[in-house]
Amino acid sequence: MQTEELCVGEDTLARRRSAKQKLADKEFFTDLLTSAATKRDARSFINRLKLLGVSRAVESSPVFNHNEGTQERPFQEAEDIRVALVKLTDLSRIGDDQLDGIAQTLSLLSRLSVTSCIVVEERQSTDEISWRQQVNEQADRLVSVLATTRSRGGHRVNDILALGDDGRAKLSLPSLILRPLHRGVMPVITSVAYSESTQKAVRISANEAIIALAKGFTAPAGPASSQDPAQPLVSVDRIVVIDESGGIPSTRAVDKMHVFVNLEQEYHQLQEELRSSTDPHVSPQHASNLWMLRQALGLLPHTASGLITSPAEAANSRRTPQAQQQVSNVGTRRRRNPLIHNLLTDRPAFSSSLPSTRLGTATTSTFVKQGMPLIILPNPEAQEWAAYKQPWIKLTDRRIDLDRLVYLINDSFDRKLDVDAYLKRVNERMAGVIIAGDYEGGAILTWETPPGVDPEDKSRMVPYLDKFAVLKKSQGAGGVADIVFNAMVRSCFPKGVCWRSRKNNPVNKWYFERSRGSWKIPGTNWSMFWTTPGVVNNTQTFQDYEAVCRSVLPTKADSPTLGKGVRLTQCPNCKRFADKYVEHDFVVLFIDLVLIKPQVYRHLLFNRLGTADPKAGVPRIDPSILRLGTLLVLWLLSESPIIIQYLFFLTMNVLATIAQHVTILFLV
């Protein structure tokens, strides 16, 4: 009887643990999907994740050696350990519920393959002894809370930092921090360093500790150089500051908070603003955090990023009580956790180029990147852009690399620009040029005269965004588009600018969110956007904007085609005409096979037999070959009796779905 009761009790406990596990997994995936801005962001993050170790079956398989008997295969990590350096300030002022939320967020980061290395700082105590006691107590408190999460918990690490002869902190015992990282345990470090000259413990700031860790992990030999060479290296790609002062405030009342900071462009200006500000919301801690991020990110790869946030936002997880959550004014969607969103997308929770009225909920987080330089010609700080000054610059100016600018435009628009015609059109009406980074993004702005208006009447000239381009490899990441757009609307044309876009352009949603208004121009394929205030109430301005957007002629060099009604393009390999949807849209391909069957056969034959990959030195098979071959076989079968044709059409629908979800996945 006792045995049966014991079995029943164990089954009940097992079911409860299973139910708890399912609930935790549900919360995990809900947090994951909620924090991702789009499906593309989630897919992009998953694609960045690689297998961090061999499978359990391989790990547990014995290696049979006839001389030494059976040996266990040692487990080896295949990839670097991804680490986020986290600065947690004034832990004693954070309540238990909020600390539990922060721990849950750090646990979620761990489940997403990023282990947090946490530096704890207490700024309240002035006495050295009481400070040491307080910071150790708070570190142990954090470790205890981490132990309740679904991660592998945390471990307090002591005596890993030292003060060199130059007075700077450095990582002296990397093995003490690498051991917990290899096990997936989060190291919790107090901001204490030992002087090499006096062998005494010295209180340092958390900023100094973070810089020392970043420098130690990125040393030429690396912190793992003294360890087993088979051990993985540590890759630091995130620095997180959790401080009650929150993100970097803006001195402009319309913004209230800097959502994104491009250090390369904005650091010195922001430091000057913070030091000279009399706003009570601005504290010296803001300037200190910004300085630390600049120093630390300068030691890390350019892909690394930083995030400054408040304890309340860092604790925003599924386990946060509903009453404590601030609801956005858009639907009922809860606010994104900035740490999780930043990890998934490498972008801030809100786009920095969004108008403040469309941010939805107020944010106290600032996303920081080492960023890229920004060139604006002519410099708007020297003199305001004005119509009576045009043209200030031409695209043939020696400061502009015209070839790279043209390549940027062609790559972004996926069509070739007629350079001569374009230069002839814009060179005498140029307002300026914006170039981001190494020609990763840019904008060309002009002054346009509405049709029928005297060209000498400068008062009617329209500020017009003629080209806005971002390299394909930089689209959706790094904030390139936001950097260029912000420069345009804040520095170049703060009073407003207009532009147009094709009605079916998928970027229109992005434009719509950042404009003050839009208008689908009747009788055309254009949508007009503007950032100028009061356009709707000013009939003359609205009509001038519409007239310009109607009259600007496109200057693209179209590829030769067989006719306007046939959607054909040239194959990049065989230079034959082939349907551009060959690799993407099987339904359209089936319809077009009737019209271009000979061209498709030539395209198929050439790509199968006539091309080679010069890099690999082996014949190259175009990914469209198998798909085209399958469809052409089915096409031949369609000449069979009516029942076979009926089955053929059913098969086509099935193949279209399979090809989209399976074939492209494995062949492209």
Domains of the chain: 81-321+334-369 (3.40.1160.10), 374-549 (3.40.630.30), 568-667 (no CATH)
* Spatial CB neighbours of 508, under 8 Å, sequence gap ≥ 6: 501, 518, 527
Instruction: Confirm if 65 and 71 have CB atoms less than 8 A apart.
Output: yes
Q: What angle do CA 305, 308, 313 make, to 5 degrees?
A: 120
| Positions in the chain short of pLDDT 70 | 1-79, 125, 219-232, 252-255, 317-335, 349-363, 390, 476-478, 557-646, 648-649, 652, 656, 659-668
DSSP state of 331: T
- The neighbouring-strand residues paired with 157 are 189
Supply the pLDDT for residue 668.
44
DSSP state of 416: -
For 470, the 3-state DSSP assignment is: strand
* Residue 552 exposed, middle or buried by CB count within 10 Å (0-12, 13-18, 19+): middle
Supply the pLDDT for residue 85.
96
Instruction: Confirm if 37 and 347 have CB atoms less than 8 A apart.
Output: yes
For 121, the 3-state DSSP assignment is: strand
| DSSP per-residue letters across 4-36 | HHHHHHHHHHHHHHHHHHHHHHHHHHHHHHHH-
User: Which residue type is seen at 643?
Assistant: I
First vs last Cα of the chain: how many Å apart? 63
pTM of the model as a whole: 0.68
Supply the pLDDT for residue 490.
87
Query: Residue 12 is encoded by which pair of tokens?
Result: 């009940």
Q: Can you list the positions of beta strands (E) in 496-634? A: 498-502, 517-520, 526-530, 568-570, 577-579, 612-613, 618-619
How far is 352 from 367, CA to CA, in rounded Å?
9
Enclosing H/E stretch for 105: helix 96-111
How far is 171 from 375, CA to CA, in rounded Å?
38
Instruction: Pick left, alpha or beta for residue 584 (phi over 0 → left; psi -120 to 50 → alpha; otherwise beta).
Output: alpha
Q: Can you list the positions of beta strands (E) in 196-347? A: 201-203, 234-242, 260-262, 305-309
Q: From residue 276, how far is each of 264, 279, 577 by CA, in Å?
A: 21, 9, 64
Instruction: Confirm if 58 and 72 have CB atoms less than 8 A apart.
Output: no
How far is 1 from 484, CA to CA, in rounded Å?
76
Q: Can you list the positions of beta strands (E) in 413-485? A: 430-436, 441-448, 462-470
Q: What angle do CA 281, 295, 217 make, to 5 degrees?
A: 125
Give per-residue pLDDT as tens, 220-279: 545 554 445 445 578 898 999 999 988 998 876 445 778 889 899 889 989 998 888 877
How far is 40 from 229, CA to CA, in rounded Å?
36
Query: Residue 529 is encoded by which pair of tokens?
Result: 């956007």
Supply the pLDDT for residue 575.
43
Q: From residue 542, how far is each of 492, 534, 548 by CA, in Å?
A: 21, 9, 10
* Spatial CB neighbours of 384, under 8 Å, sequence gap ≥ 6: none
Query: Residue 205 is encoded by which pair of tokens?
Result: 């700031």
Query: Residue 646 is encoded by which pair of tokens?
Result: 């009926």
Supply the pLDDT for residue 120.
95
Q: Which residue has the tokens 């056969």?
A: 601
* Residue 368 exposed, middle or buried by CB count within 10 Å (0-12, 13-18, 19+): buried
Supply the pLDDT for residue 546.
94
**How many of the other CB atoms lie within 10 Å of CB of 577?**
21
Task: Please list the alpha-helical segments (H only) found in 52-118.
Answer: 56-59, 96-111
β pairing state of 517-520 and 234-242: unpaired
How far is 10 from 557, CA to CA, in rounded Å?
74
Instruction: Confirm if 354 and 486 have CB atoms less than 8 A apart.
Output: no
Q: Which residue has the tokens 């680490």?
A: 83
Q: Which of 322, 438, 320 is nearest to 371 (CA)?
A: 438
Q: What angle do CA 414, 510, 526 make, to 5 degrees?
A: 65
Q: Which of 210, 115, 227 is nearest to 173 (CA)?
A: 227
